[in-house]
Copies of this chain bind each other. A is one copy, B any other.
Amino acid sequence: MISNDIAERILAAVDAQFDAQLERTAELVASPSLRAGEEPAQDLVEQQLRGLGLDVDRWTIDSPELREHPGFGKPTVDYGGMTNVVGTYEPTEDLGKSLILNGHIDVVPEGPEDKWSRSPWDAEIRDGWMYGRGAGDMKAGLIANLFAFDAIRKAGLELTGRVHLQSVVEEECTGNGSLAALLRGYTADAVIISEPEEDALVRANVGVLWFTVRVTGDPTHPREMANGFNAIDAAYEVIEALRGLEEEWNAKKGEHEYFENLDHPINFNFGGIRGGDWPSSVPAWCELRVRVATYPGTTADDAWAEIEECVADAATNSSHRPFEAQLTPDGFYSEGYVLEPGSDAEGLLEETHRAAFSRELTSFTTPGYLDGRVFVNYGNIPTLVYGPVSENIHGFEALRS
């Protein structure tokens, strides 16, 4: 542990910079880094990293090695102009342990305009909360990484271990950004991902798969509708079948350490639907966008086989008439992870957490995707996903107003 004196100097340096930290956070929230639109926000991060005097590595994430990796999520956008940014600090004398501070720059879509009382990109602070898409998930954490690093030097201290400050893309859809950073050779003794986890540590985390189900059949004019096929109904049969699989998987929670005490650890989400061409034509096609979760230890391939079987059964045994259902992976294709307790990194976090909050660090299992799986499963690095308080991170501002 560091001495109280040093801790106080660092905390004072954090406080001294806090207004600037909020400003930089707001500036980053104001840059709508939606998928495939992250570059202006990465420019801001790069500028910050250069301002900290770091060596900056910025590269387009695509590579054959990435695409062949078993943890590669299937992209639906062009990776040609999509970059990661990493700022590296090399100590003059390398005596300490190395650390990766990771955050993602991408945000999920802001949703319907009428769910916001003002722009999702204005980063207004009201009653102590910053509002805006991505403020919590996770631009606050990403900027906190940079200011934490800077505060140590502002406190007059010199770091004796290598530090990589990473701003990655694609965390909200494939996890390929962090995977590309690992494959580029960035490793360390520990990783901190400052996701909004309510000042608690993620112990275990589901795998996530994204895919589209396209159901098709042969409809007809409404005047002959009784004999026809309706793709919207067929899509709903697929939803019901997958909900059956979801409950099957939830029923097995007792077999999975860190999941056995959760009410409903496995959540499937039906996040999008599109079908039909014309109000007076029975729809011939309907596409569902689905997100499923899996327990750690279940490979994406194994989960995929079960999903395929479930949907094929629904299509064959339809209560109306059999239909075709085509499944296409189009995003996350990932395995969950467990952070094994007992690492030095975790021990240090316990101590600093206790010092900061005057209470013990708690850990928990989260049913959302995290890039931690990249560093734990493929880098074998203790990875602390731990970060600030947030609310309603994929929701809308209007919920709090």
| Chain A residues within CB distance 8 Å of chain B | 108-109, 111-112, 114-115, 172-173, 208, 210, 216, 218-226, 230, 232, 235-236, 239, 263-264, 267, 269-286, 289-291, 293, 331, 366-369, 392-396, 398-399
- Contact pick for A283, options B236, B273, B280, B369, CB 8 Å: B273
Q: Which residues of B contact A282 (CB under 8 A)?
A: 269, 271, 394
On whether the beta carbons of A109 and B284 are closer than 8 Å, the reply is: no
Closest residue on chain B to residue A331 by CB atoms = B279
Contact A115 B269 (CB under 8 A): no
| Given A111-B284, A210-B280, A272-B283: 17 more A-B contacts, CB < 8 Å | A111-B285, A114-B216, A115-B216, A172-B280, A210-B279, A220-B395, A221-B394, A223-B367, A230-B270, A232-B239, A271-B280, A271-B281, A272-B276, A272-B277, A273-B274, A274-B274, A282-B394
Cα–Cα distance between A272 and B277 once the two chains are bound (Å): 6
Complex Cα distance, B324 from A114, in Å, reads: 13
Q: Are A221 and B109 in contact (CB under 8 A)?
A: no
| Docked CA distance A279–B210 (Å) | 7
Are A284 and B208 in touch, CB under 8 angstroms?
A: no
Residues of B within 8 A of A396 (CB): 218, 284
The answer to whether residues A219 and B395 also contact, given A225-B269, A232-B239, A274-B274 and a CB cut-off of 8 A, is yes
In the bound complex, residues from chain B placing their C-beta under 8 Å from that of A263 are 226
Find chain B residues with CB under 8 A from A270 CB: 230, 232, 276, 283
Give which listed residue, B112, B226, B285, contacts A284 with CB less than 8 A.
B112
Q: Min CB distance, A372 to chain B, in Å?
A: 15
Q: Could you tell me the distance between the alpha carbons of A5 and B273 in the complex, rounded to whole angstroms? A: 62
Q: List residues of chain B with CB within 8 A of the CB of A226.
A: 263-264
What CA separation (Å) do A355 and B239 show in the bound complex? 56
Q: Decide: A267 and B222 in contact? CB cutoff 8 A.
A: yes
Query: Which B residue sits closest to A115, measured CB to CB?
Result: B284
Q: Is the CB of B278 within 8 A of A272?
A: yes
The answer to whether A273 touches B220, judged by C-beta atoms less than 8 angstroms apart, is no
| Bound Cα distance A214, B109 (Å) | 19
A114, A223, A282, A394 pick with most chain B CB within 10 angstroms: A394
Q: Which residues of the partner chain B approach A291 to less than 8 Å between Cβ atoms?
A: 222, 279-280
The distance from the CB of A296 to the nearest CB of chain B, in whole angstroms, is: 16
Q: Are A223 and B368 in contact (CB under 8 A)?
A: yes
> What are 28 A-B contacts defined by CB distance under 8 Å?
A108-B280, A108-B281, A109-B278, A111-B277, A115-B216, A115-B218, A173-B279, A208-B280, A210-B279, A219-B394, A220-B392, A220-B394, A221-B393, A222-B267, A222-B367, A223-B267, A223-B367, A224-B392, A226-B263, A270-B283, A271-B282, A272-B279, A276-B289, A279-B289, A279-B290, A280-B291, A281-B394, A282-B394
